[in-house]
Structure 1
Amino acid sequence: MEYDYDIVFLGGGLNYAGAVVASKARLKCALVEKNPAHLGGTCLHNGCIPSKMYLAAADTVRASKKAHFSGSLSLDMAKLDEEKEALLARATKAIMKQCENVEIVEGEGVLTAPHTIEADGKTVTGRYVIIGTGSRPFIPEGIVYDSHSVITSDEVLNMREFPERIAIYGDGAIGLEMASFFASVGVETELIWRHDTLLRKAHPKISENAMKQMEALGVTLLPDHSIETAKKAKKGVHIRFSDGSEHHVPKLLVATGRRPNVEAVRNDAVAVDKRGIVTDEHFETTCKDHYAVGDCNGKLQLAHAARAEVLYVVRQILGEKPEPLNLNHVVKFIHTLPCSYAVVGETRSELEKRGVEYKESVVPLSGLPFPHTHDGDLGVMVVYADEDRFIMGGEVFCPGAEEIIAVVSMALAGEMDVKLARRTILAHPTFSESLERAFDRL
């Protein structure tokens, strides 16, 4: 059978990175995307790029409230939104430039048969198909989303003015990050979630300090609360909890996770289950030469994981025989203020769940001069080693944790043991030197 293209990429999120690499290798590629202006996907347009931009601005406001500063500082959301839109426009233009040798097929693509994509009346075929259709916010049953009073991350990252008060439902990355953002800029903020602790899979000391940090920011914490119904009322949002109690807020941000977009798969040859599109360890679906990467395969909802997956698949197609990806070695983080949480590899909760023997080293940052002057008093460094004294993973809670964790990530990639890790000499005064101390204590 003759195909129109060597590879058809369905979805233009981080999938575009694979299309760029494949086209540079002289493969004929098409990228099917319903909105080419949204190339780069949720991370760029409605996720991690704007949210981290907002958090950086909020952190300046938070820091300005310290006693050694005088005067007051406020954040102009309209101006921040304008700056964000200009940034996203430049980034999208750069992506379009990178894709100059990729055929962009505009339309909502659907896999109707093996190797065959239909998009708004157009049909394209590919020797290989790589599906990267991403995910969307999940709205629990009983919550009536209206994009104005009851919102998701899509709306919150396009605000041009602050609400008088906001309630956030969910203790995942979006919920915790947005609670940090709103509280830091002075918006009265409530955090509602169904469990009794925050970061419940993290090391207990980190989980405890995450709660303390939210309280210090002024967030009203409502643990052990499950929303049964929520809908727009005459004034704001009327909430009914599962215990029968009622609550009113001006605005409700629903941050209860995301669900994979699998509707584009309309062919039984590609299996789909409750997690997403079914793939093997090489991201190949149940249909040969058809792959699914990123959020839609339900493995790991992170932009950098999606990028790594699509590049791995393209390198397989190019015959490069890349090393299989270990998704457990992908850094995961939540950018709260002032301390962020980052983790890579094994954690105490997972090791205990599987009954694996391990040794941990825990270094609290309270009382240390540099962390104290850089808002890290609640910080904690944790590293884990196995019985043979090889590094298994680490958890970091401190300002810039998503950068500090790179030390542990490299240790895992290099299969370092404790003896080798202890040879690492890190700078002083820094947060990373406390990670050096953690290695020394293993």
Structure 2
Amino acid sequence: MTYDYDILFLGGGLNYAGAVTAAKAGLRTALVEKKMEHLGGTCLHNGCIPSKMYLQAAETVRASKKSHFSGSIRLDLAKLDEEKESMLSMATGAITRQCSDVELIKGEGVLIAPYTVRVDTRTVTAEKIVIGTGSHPFIPEGIVYDGDAVISSDEVLGMQELPEKIAVYGSGAIGLEMAAFFAAAGVETELIWRHDTLLKKAHPMISNQLKKQFEKLGVTLLPEHSIKTAQKREQGVHIVFEDGKEHSVPKLLVATGRRSNTDVIQTNEIEIGKRGIETDVHFETTLADHYAVGDCNGKIQLAHAARAEVLYVVRRILGKKPDTVMMDSVVKFIHTLPCSYAYVGKTRSQLQDEGIHYHESSVPLNGLPYPHIHDADLGMMAVYSDEENFIVGAELFAPQAEELIAIVAMAIAGEMDADLAKRTILAHPTFSESLEKCFLHL
């Protein structure tokens, strides 16, 4: 069979990184995306990039309230949105230029048969197909989403003005980050979630400290509240909880997770599971030569994981025999203010659930001058090693935890034991020196 392309990428999120690599290697490459202005995906346009920009702005507002500052500032959301759009336009342009050797096909792509994709009225074929169609916000049954009073993560980063009050439903990454943003920006904020604790699987001390941090930000916490129905009415969003109690808020952000986009699969030769498109460790689906990467395979919904997956797939297709992507080694984090939560490798709860004997070294940041300067008195760090004292994981709660965790990620990738880690002398005064203390106590 003669194919139109050597490789075709369905979806233009982090899939584009694989397309660029394939094209540079000489493969006839195509990428199908329904909105070319959205090239780069959810993370870039209405996810992790703009959310961090917003959190940085809110942190300035929060920090300005310290007693050694006089006066007050208010976040102009319309101007921030304008700046965000300018940044995203620049980034999208840069990605488009990187794809100069890739044929970009605009349209709704659907996999209708092996090696065959229909894009609107056009049909194209490829010897290899990489599916990277991302995910969409999940709205629980009973909640009437209207994109105005009841919004999702798709709308929250496009708002033109701060609301007087907002309720955030969900305690995952999006819910926690947006609750921190609104509260730090001066908005009356409620956080509603179904469980009794925050970050239920995190180190218990970190869960407790995160709760205290939200209380310090002024967030009203409503644990063990499951929304049965929510709908816009004249007086605002009317909420009925599972226990029958009623509640009203001007605006409700539904942050109850995201679901894999699998509707593009219209052949039964590719199996779809509860979390997304089923793949093996090489991200190959149940149909040979067809791969699924990123959010759509339901493994880890993180942009850097998607990038690692698609680059692994392309390198393997090119015959380069790359090392298998170790999903436990992917850094995961939630950016809250002023401390963020980050972890890599095995967490304490995972080690306990799997019955693995481990050593724990934890260091609270309370009482240390440098963390105090950065309002990180609630912070803490925990590092874990196995029976042979090899570093196997860490959980950090500190400002810029997502950056600090890289030290541990590299220690795990390099199969470093505690004795070797103890030889590392980290700078003072920094947050990293608390990691040094963790290593010394293993």
TM-score under structure 2 length normalisation: 1.00
| Residue number in structure 2 paired with 1:253 | 253
2:24 maps to what in 1? Answer: 24
Aligned partner of 1:138: which letter?
F
Alignment of 1:344 with 2:344, yes or no, is yes
Question: Is 1:214 the equivalent of 2:214?
Answer: yes
Paired residue for 1:379?
379
Query: What letter matches 1:316 in structure 2?
Result: R
Counterpart of 1:309 in structure 2 is 309
Take 1:439 and 1:236, find their aligned partners in 2: how far apart are those partners? 52
SS in 1 for 2:240: strand
When normalised by structure 1's length, the TM-score is 1.00
1:125 is matched with 125
Whether 1:398 and 2:404 are equivalent positions in the alignment is no
Provide the identity percentage: 70
| One-letter amino acid of the counterpart of residue 36, structure 1 | M
Q: Tell me the amino acid that sits aligned with residue 410 of structure 1.
A: M
Q: How does 1:160-239 map to 2 (within 5 A)?
A: 160-239=160-239
Residue 59 of structure 1: how far off its partner (Å)? 0.2
Q: Spell out the pairing of 1:358-373 with structure 2 (5 A cutoff).
A: 358-373=358-373
Structure 2 counterpart SS, 1:405: helix
Q: Which amino acid aligns with 1:331?
A: V
Describe the SS at the equivalent of 2:337.
Answer: coil
Equivalent pairs counted in the alignment come to 442
Letter paired with 1:144: V
| Matching residue's letter, 1:22 | A
Q: Which residue does 2:274 correspond to in 1?
A: 274
Read off the aligned partner of 2:268 and give its amino acid letter.
Answer: D
Structure 2 distance, partners of 1:323, 1:186, is: 47
Query: How many Å separate the matches in 2 of 1:172 and 1:273?
Result: 22
Equivalent residue number for residue 80 of structure 1: 80
| Offset of residue 113 of structure 1 | 0.4
Q: Secondary structure at the match of 1:434?
A: helix
Matched with 2:297 is 297
1:417-442 Cα deviation digits (max 9, x unpaired):
01011111111000000000001001
Q: What amino acid sits opposite 2:51 in the alignment?
A: S
**Equivalent position amino acid for 1:279 in 2:** T
CA RMSD of aligned residues (A): 0.5
How far, CA to CA, are the matches of 1:64 and 1:145 in structure 2?
35
Greater than 3 Å deviation, 4+ residue runs: none
Q: Partners of 1:37 and 1:275 in 2: how far apart?
A: 28
The aligned residue for residue 416 of structure 2 is 416
Q: Structure 1 residue 355: deviation in Å?
A: 1.2
**SS at the partner of 1:397?**
strand
Rounded to whole Å, the distance in 1 between the matches of 2:257 and 2:175 is: 9
User: What residue is the counterpart of 1:141 in the other structure?
Assistant: 141
Counterpart Cα distance in 2 of 1:26 and 1:343: 38
- Which structure 1 segments of 5+ residues have no match? none
Cα distance between partner residues in 2 of 1:171 and 1:275: 19
Q: Which residue of 2 aligns with 1:241?
A: 241
Instruction: Provide the rounded CA distance (Å) in 2 between the counterparts of 1:199 and 1:272.
Output: 28
Tell me the distance in 2 between the aligned counterparts of 1:327 and 1:437.
27
Question: Aligned partners of 1:126 and 1:78: how far apart in 2?
Answer: 44
1:181: how far off? 0.4
Q: Write the distance in 2 (CA, Å) between the matches of 1:182 and 1:399.
A: 18
Return the alpha-carbon distance in structure 2 between the equivalents of residues 148 and 374 of structure 1: 36
Deviation at residue 273 of structure 1 after TM alignment: 1.0
Q: Give, as a single letter, the amino acid of the residue that structure 1 aligns with 2:87.
A: L
Instruction: Output one character per residue of 1:162-195: Cα deviation in whole Å (capped at 9) or x when no partner.
Output: 1110000000000000010000011000000001
Q: Using the alignment, how far apart are the partners of 2:21 and 2:402 within structure 1?
A: 27
- Please name the residue that 2:2 is paired with: 2
**1: CA distance, partners of 2:89 / 2:238:** 37
Shift of 1:236: 1.1
* 2:388 aligned partner: 388
**Mind listing any 5+ residue stretches in structure 2 that lack a counterpart?**
none
Specify the SS of the correspondent of 1:7.
Answer: strand
Secondary structure of the residue aligned to 1:3 is: coil
SS of residue paired to 2:344: strand
Q: Distance in 2 between matches of 1:349 and 1:144?
A: 35
- Give 2:56's aligned residue: 56
Structure 2 counterpart SS, 1:408: helix
> Counterparts of 2:163 and 2:77 in 1: how far apart (Å)?
11
* Structure 2 SS opposite 1:387: coil
Pairwise CA distance, 1:354: 1.3
Whole-angstrom CA distance in 2 between matches of 1:96 and 1:390 = 43
